Structure 1
Amino acid sequence: MPLVLTAAAIAVLLLLIMKFKVHVFIALAVVSFLLALALGMPLPDIVGAVEDGLGDTLASTGLIFGFGAILGKLLADAGGAQRISTSLVDRFGQRWVQWAVVVASLILGVALFFEVGIVLLVPIVYQMSKQAQVNFLYLGLPMAAGLSVMHGFLPPHPGPTVIAEQYGANVGMVLVYGLVIALPTAVIAGPLFTYYARKYVPSAFTKTEVGTLAKLGEGQQFDIKDTPGFASSALTALFPVLLMFASSIVALLQDGLGLPENTFFQAVEVIGEPTTVMVLSVLVAIYTMGIARRIPMTRVMQSAETSVKAVGMLLLVLGVSGSLKQVLIDGGVGDYVATLFENSSISPLVLAWLIAALLRLAQGSATVAALTTAGLVIPLIEGSDANLALVTLATGAGSIIASHVNDTGFWIVRESFGLTVKETLATWTVLETIISVCGFGFVLLLSLAV
């Protein structure tokens, strides 16, 4: 029954949004309450679950998106985003601009959380689409594919790192195998899928109106000689990457060398947190895109205020999508799926992928799906000869399948690219499924060789 009720709730949500044109924010809130009642949650707990889900989601994404929006707007209004996009298009040429985006998203995705990568890259990629005179989604899907692949398969991202620790896998081998899997998967789910998506979802690729985050990149168009230098612009845009990457390297060295915890490592850990990274990055942007260019502070702050206002509704949508996810978790949907596979004798690789996939479909959170799967699979791999690094990657692959309406990432992508729910299901949901299936396929191939 929990799975049937979840499916019914998703159907009601889609009906409210697509048929009756109810705003996403209102529809998600209504369905969250209805599903909590249907799952039999105690009445006093329902409001708490809705509020906790909204609060937890905004706590983890609110400041990231707020400061990320400010950073993107400062880059756009000073001409930095235009300088970056023009330079990349000139360097790669219009014919290869899509591949330039894939390479950039893979490189940046090594260090950036998915949400941080989206909020930073969307305005720049939008500028690139205008410079190259191609549709925004034509570049946007490969960008999202690159970020998602790295987030799902590679340490030091939280999912792969925590799962590896749970299984006792060698993080270094997870990184090596993850790279082998990630590169071909990004090509298949990015440029190749986009080629076919343009044929069966043409409406998504002919839009003239874009999403909230892309609009942050619509700053004043400059004569190229009046824009900041490429080095200054690129450093400002890449500053979050550099901070996160440096923090990750220090953490890996500490673990690898067995160094004790001290104030230095604690400070590095705090600096590497996404929220801290974005605060420091905004301060750098205020200097490089404002003070250093002798732009009055009032104009700089006006850009910042405009950007925060622009993402207000986006943050509410993301928050209430977290409410739906929390109801599914507190209502026991994930626990129900987990009990289906108790005492299973299926291969650990297949079982890890399958359980994670079903948990992801049922309750939306990739992290919850992955960690719950680890707890179920660990007893099965004790004493077996299963390659723990590959079990880690199989779990990660299953946990990112079919992002849909119960996943915060679904709404991030929809709002970023200005898509309808139907178009998001036909593009982003399919893209995530391709990443999951291809990633698992490559895991199976590797298991034959290692």
Structure 2
Amino acid sequence: MSDTAIIINTAVAVLAAVLLIVRFRLNPVISLIIGAAYLGLSTGMGAEGTVKAITTGFGEIMAEVGLLIAFGVLTGAMLQEAGAIQRLVSTLLRTFGPKRMPYALSLTLATALQSIFLDVLLVISAPLARNLAPRIGSVGTARMATALAIGLECGIVLMVPGVGTVALAGLLGVPLGRMLIFGLILIIPTVALSVAIMSFVFRHGWWDVAKDEQPGMFGDEATGAQSEAHGQERTQEQTQPTESVQQAGGATQTALEPPEVQERRHISLIVLFMPLIGALLLIGAGAVLDVAGIENPVVTFVADPVIALLAGLIGTSLVTRYSVGRKRVERSIATGFRESGQILILTGVGGSLAATISAAGLGDILGKYFTASTAAPLLVVWVIAAALHIAVGSVSISAITAAGILAPVAPAIGLDPVLIALAAGAGSLFAVHVTSNTFWLLQSLMGQSTRGTLKTCSVGVSVASVVAILLIQPLALIV
């Protein structure tokens, strides 16, 4: 089959999957499998070859990242149950003060808390951010909402153990330690610069409280006075009912838990997070030693991402069990299993489409036109991921699909796969909008209008997307 026919059929397969998801509201898992099946059959792979590519792609990415995603989500679920997130935000407030909170909160969400399922993390952190907003100035709501959006979305696809990041690393064969180090190098300046840019434009008149906020939704007059007391209550671990979370003007509320359920032994915050931090340090240390050419069987074993995250999971289960009791730990683990199931299946079918694209020979074709010395491959990855995200509204799907299209190119032209992973992640952040669940959660939980959410979420995260690809380009010169 000609090169042109393969390129056209690949484009049709991807566009068909997007159309099925957006226009016909078909489940993304089914849509991606249909796209992969069409591509295999249309490029002459035959029924047997097509099925083999789909199943092999699913199995290979699950072998790479399945346990990592499950361990990360379960760890996050237990930290959530122990109230670690509320305490961490209170600690950040005391340490940095209200004026620096947008930076501190955004960087913390993007780096330290990515094991927690995004929607859960947003529901937990948004009320605390909302309470802090009046204390940081007239555009406090805008700055805190933007900080939440940028931190949450960037962490998913740029920082280990974010589910998108782990999936990208597995798909492209990037060692997780290497992905962790390069992701950390990229995400800190990306988040800090993006929050600074958005804060600047908000301070200079790009925020209209009357049109961009919905005053009165949460009793704003009492919010500022209550915020410090709220933080102190969480820090001191008093046995209070969990704060209700309102969505869309009270349309949805989480039930108040009885005081006895909230009882917990006081454990230092650093102790709660130490198992997860220790796991990430082990993974990072393994990557550093690998680069330095130092080999030690014991270090190689404990620094393996699966072993390191397993140790972190076990450690977290022990400290949270001491803090909140066995029953609540078991409940959190059950929640974690439910959350990780859908993530694993979606990641797997993303691998199926990527494997079919590779088997069709697209990588060899594109390799003829790209060279490692040019910026074109990274920009193409970014543009493809951005376009897919605008259409589909899923950060993870768009990143995995874009990376899969150009993954075969990496060995052909000598481009480091970690750069492709980062470029795909950066592109998938562009234009978070009304097709995203994060968009509507931010609108309701932060008391914004749709217009305001378009500014804080859509524009804010898009700025981060552009900043990230601009920072990735210099990395390509040194990697």
Global fold match (TM > 0.5): yes
Give the match for residue 375 of structure 2: 350
Contact persistence 2:78–2:332 (CA under 8 A): yes
Q: Equivalences for 1:190-229 in 2 at 5 Å?
A: 192=197, 229=266
Residues 1:186 and 2:198 are matched in the alignment: no
Q: Equivalences for 1:273-312 in 2 at 5 Å?
A: 273=305, 275-290=306-321, 292-293=322-323, 295=325, 297-312=326-341
Alpha-carbon RMSD: 5.1
Residues 1:83 and 2:87 are matched in the alignment: yes
Give the match for residue 148 of structure 2: 139
Distance 2:341 2:440 in 1: 15
Distance 2:284 2:197 in 1: 31
Task: From the superposition, tell whether residues 371 and 3 of structure 1 become closer, same or farther in structure 2 (CA, over 3 Å).
Answer: closer
Residues 1:364 and 2:392 are matched in the alignment: no
Deviations 1:384-433, CA, capped at 9 Å, x for gaps: xxxxxxx999767655553399xxxx9xx9677788xxx99967994675
Question: How many corresponding residue pairs?
Answer: 383
Distance 2:44 2:121 in 1: 46
Contact persistence 2:71–2:313 (CA under 8 A): yes
- The alpha-carbon deviation at position 374 of structure 1 amounts to 5.5
Give the match for residue 248 of structure 1: 284
Residues 1:65 and 2:99 are matched in the alignment: no
Contact persistence 1:101–1:125 (CA under 8 A): no
TM-score (norm. length: structure 2): 0.62
TM-score (norm. length: structure 1): 0.65
- The alpha-carbon deviation at position 45 of structure 1 amounts to 1.0
- The alpha-carbon deviation at position 144 of structure 1 amounts to 3.2
- The runs of 5 or more residues in structure 2 that have no matched partner are 131-140, 163-167, 218-244, 249-253, 389-399, 442-452
Contact persistence 2:362–2:405 (CA under 8 A): no
1:439 alignment partner, SS class: helix
Give the match for residue 50 of structure 1: 54
Give the match for residue 413 of structure 2: 376
- The alpha-carbon deviation at position 66 of structure 1 amounts to 2.2
Deviations 1:249-290, CA, capped at 9 Å, x for gaps: 35534653x54x3432332333xx1x3233222211222111
Code of the residue aligned with 1:293 in structure 2: it is: S
Contact persistence 2:422–2:472 (CA under 8 A): yes
1:70 alignment partner, SS class: helix
- The alpha-carbon deviation at position 139 of structure 1 amounts to 0.5
Task: From the superposition, tell whether residues 311 and 219 of structure 1 become closer, same or farther in structure 2 (CA, over 3 Å).
Answer: farther
Distance 1:287 1:219 in 2: 26
Residues 1:5 and 2:9 are matched in the alignment: yes
Task: From the superposition, tell whether residues 103 and 400 of structure 1 become closer, same or farther in structure 2 (CA, over 3 Å).
Answer: closer
Share of identical aligned residues, percent?
Answer: 18
Distance 1:106 1:298 in 2: 30
Give the match for residue 331 of structure 1: 360
Contact persistence 2:107–2:191 (CA under 8 A): no
Contact persistence 1:102–1:146 (CA under 8 A): no
Task: From the superposition, tell whether residues 393 and 56 of structure 1 become closer, same or farther in structure 2 (CA, over 3 Å).
Answer: closer
Which residue of 347, 350, 361 corresponds with 1:321? 350
Residues 1:25 and 2:29 are matched in the alignment: yes
Q: Equivalences for 1:99-114 in 2 at 5 Å?
A: 99-104=103-108, 108=112
Contact persistence 1:397–1:439 (CA under 8 A): no
- The alpha-carbon deviation at position 437 of structure 1 amounts to 3.4
- The runs of 5 or more residues in structure 1 that have no matched partner are 109-115, 165-170, 211-216, 379-390
Distance 2:274 2:438 in 1: 20
2:44 alignment partner, SS class: coil
Give the match for residue 241 of structure 2: none
